[in-house]
Structure 1
Amino acid sequence: MAHIIAIANQKGGVGKTTTAVNLAASLAVLKKRVLLVDMDSQGNATMGSGIQKNDLQHSITDVLLGEVDVATAIAQSEVGYKVLGSNRDLAGVELAIAEQDGREYILRDALQQVAQKFDYILVDCAPSLSLITVNALAAVDAVIIPMQCEYYALEGLADLTQTIDKIQQALNPKLEILGVLRTMYDARNALTRDVSAELEQYFGRKLYDTVVPRNVRLAEAPAHGLPIIYFEKSSKGAIAYLNLAAEILKKAKLKRT
């Protein structure tokens, strides 16, 4: 059965989609069967996986509306993992399902149909708390939170942890924070070090040892429709996401024993 994990942060620009795409690719390189689910109408995770969002035969929208089953909508990328893609059609789904019974559990029920076929299912969430994001958080086992080490990011993190608590109480009792990932990390910056210390004190073992540095090649990779490991495998960004994948696998193994 797959580990189903959301990559989420209600603050934009923190490396959420970058993390979703590159963690998916890194887990695939480490021989794991991976599905990346794009739950953002911008479709950036889809494009970053080398799939043209406007050319999708089927998308997550069709799944949420019940027009196709999830297996039919999954596309094979050329970068080692499969993708349940998204485009701007997703923006209209919320109104369409708003009055539907069990609307919060549509994604959960869909993913259960294919959970046996994957080791990891990663869900890239939009940076907003909508019914679509609620669907994502109701469907997953845990959340990875990417965040920059800056003051406003701490405020956003407080909002997100409150949201996770509410979803846990109302919809998904098993939901937990799997880990917090420091992104765009610059150890030369005093504020970065101060915020990092606060995160370590608050989250303890849930704070990943891996940090993702600011890296030009990492920023360039999406324009080529490639995860960083396929774009520049020797870059600091590629090495960081491989380390993150290895750290996640190690913790999952320890949890099972």
Structure 2
Amino acid sequence: MAKIVSIINHKGGVGKTATAANLGAALQIRGKRVLLIDMDAQSNLTDCLGVSTELDDTIYQAMRGYIPLPIVKNEDGLDIVPSCLDMSAIEMEIMQKYAREQILHKLISQVQEQYDYILIDCPPSLSILTINAMTASDCIIIPVEAEYLAMRGMGRLTNVIHEVKNNLNPKLRISGILITKYDRRKNFNQDIQEIIRDTFQGDVFTTTIRTNVAIGEATAAKHDIFHYAPKSSGAEDYASFCDEFLKKESTFN
């Protein structure tokens, strides 16, 4: 049965989609069967991995109950459940549904045995879609940019995680906080890193994702970092993060 991992931060621009794409690719390189699910109406994960955002079958149709999870394979061999702009309306459309928080969990349960890891790229909000992802997940990765504003709202996010754990998904836990867009030459980045590590103690991954232009270039080229620039510092950091993640999660198997 796949381990289900949500990648969440309700603040945008923190490297959430890059983390989903590149952790997924790193896991695949290590021989794991991986499925990526794009839950964001902006469809950034879908687009950055070279899948059309105008397909007829997307996570939207599945959440509405019209189809099972639609899985497509991109050029680099990653399995992806694509998103679309219609997802922006899904909250109103499922609001009256019974067990609306469980919709994604039920969809995933039909394919869970086919994969080792299922990674969910969540929208930058604490919406019913994010709650669906938390309800379906075993654990959560929280990417946090090494900037002052990164700490704002973290208390609210952790409170929502605890609420979901207490009321909807008792097995849910935080795998760790991943510091992204880090530049060790900047004293400010170092200070923020120390504050994050002091505040969240053992919940922070040792690996940091350094600021690296190749990560953005890979996104524009519609590939993960390992297929686009395998010798870049971005590839090095996400490979290191993947190894740390696997080692940490092995204690929960």
Q: Is the shorter-chain TM-score for this pair beyond 0.5, marking a shared fold?
A: yes
Matching of residues 42-61 of structure 1 within 5 Å? 42-54=42-54, 56-61=55-60
Corresponding residue for 1:68? 67
* Alpha-carbon distance in structure 1 between the residues aligned to 2:224 and 2:177: 21
Match of 2:95 among 98, 107, 111: 98
Matching of residues 138-217 of structure 1 within 5 Å? 138-217=135-214
* Alpha-carbon distance in structure 2 between the residues aligned to 1:251 and 1:17: 21
Runs of 4+ that moved beyond 3 A:
none
Could you tell me which runs of 5 or more consecutive residues in structure 2 were left unpaired when the two chains were aligned.
Answer: none
Shift of 1:203: 2.5
Does 1:38 find its partner at 2:35? no
1:158-192 residue CA offsets vs partner (Å, 9 max, x unmatched): 22111211221222121111111010001122221
Corresponding residue for 2:18? 18
- Which amino acid is 1:83 matched to? I
Shift of 1:133: 1.4
- Which amino acid is 2:118 matched to? I
State the TM-score, normalized to the length of structure 1: 0.95
On the 8 A contact 2:49/2:74 being kept in 1, the answer is yes
* Alpha-carbon distance in structure 1 between the residues aligned to 2:68 and 2:203: 35
Corresponding residue for 1:239? 236
- Which amino acid is 1:98 matched to? M
Q: SS at the partner of 1:100? A: coil
- Which amino acid is 1:217 matched to? A
Shift of 1:202: 2.8
On the 8 A contact 2:175/2:249 being kept in 1, the answer is no
On the 8 A contact 2:35/2:81 being kept in 1, the answer is yes
1:101-124 residue CA offsets vs partner (Å, 9 max, x unmatched): 011100011101111110000000
* Alpha-carbon distance in structure 2 between the residues aligned to 1:161 and 1:94: 22
- Which amino acid is 1:245 matched to? C
Match of 1:112 among 105, 109, 114: 109
On the 8 A contact 1:10/1:159 being kept in 2, the answer is no
* Alpha-carbon distance in structure 1 between the residues aligned to 2:117 and 2:74: 16
- Which amino acid is 1:92 matched to? A
Q: SS at the partner of 2:152? A: helix
- Which amino acid is 1:51 matched to? V
Q: SS at the partner of 2:178? A: strand
State the TM-score, normalized to the length of structure 2: 0.96
On the 8 A contact 2:71/2:79 being kept in 1, the answer is yes
Q: SS at the partner of 1:53? A: coil
- Identical columns (%): 40
* Alpha-carbon distance in structure 1 between the residues aligned to 2:23 and 2:85: 24
Match of 1:130 among 127, 130, 137: 127
- Which amino acid is 2:192 matched to? V
1:203-252 residue CA offsets vs partner (Å, 9 max, x unmatched): 33321111111111111111111111111111100111111111111122
1:67-123 residue CA offsets vs partner (Å, 9 max, x unmatched): 0112xx111122232001101011121111110101110001110111111000000
1:34-77 residue CA offsets vs partner (Å, 9 max, x unmatched): 000000001010111111111x231000110110112xx11112
Shift of 1:13: 0.7
**Considering only aligned residues, what root-mean-square deviation do their CA atoms show, in Å?**
1.2
* Alpha-carbon distance in structure 1 between the residues aligned to 2:17 and 2:31: 21
* Alpha-carbon distance in structure 2 between the residues aligned to 1:200 and 1:77: 36
* Alpha-carbon distance in structure 2 between the residues aligned to 1:209 and 1:130: 29
Could you tell me which runs of 5 or more consecutive residues in structure 1 were left unpaired when the two chains were aligned.
Answer: none
* Alpha-carbon distance in structure 1 between the residues aligned to 2:148 and 2:215: 23
